[in-house]
Structure 1
Amino acid sequence: MALKRSRYPLQGVTYVRMTKCPCGYEFSDYERRSEHFLEDHTADDVPGLSNRGDRA
């Protein structure tokens, strides 16, 4: 997974954006990351998450 760290000038705000998914998919600059995960992955791809809110 590739991450890019950026800052908003003069605001003191830093944000981190995923640029490449662990599956190898590369995101375009303004693409919604959630759409890729919802369309191309299943819950088995992210074992640390649960749809009930409890830990796996």
Structure 2
Amino acid sequence: YRHALERQRARPDLPYGLDVWRDGANVLRLLWADAGAFEVVSFVRGAWEDAALAMV
């Protein structure tokens, strides 16, 4: 049991998230916390990037 616990890689608690979908596919997923920790869970390059940048 102890060895199994040592091999676990616990993720930080990231309570906030953002999912971006384009044409039925998830193209971006971000997780973050107030303390500044974040994780890019998934990212797929594509035309959606230009569309997203055009919104700002």
TM interval, shorter chain, is under 0.3
Which structure shows the higher strand fraction?
Answer: 2
Return the TM-score normalized by structure 2: 0.25
Return the TM-score normalized by structure 1: 0.25
Structure of larger gyration radius? 2
Higher relative contact order (CA 8 A, sep 6+): 2
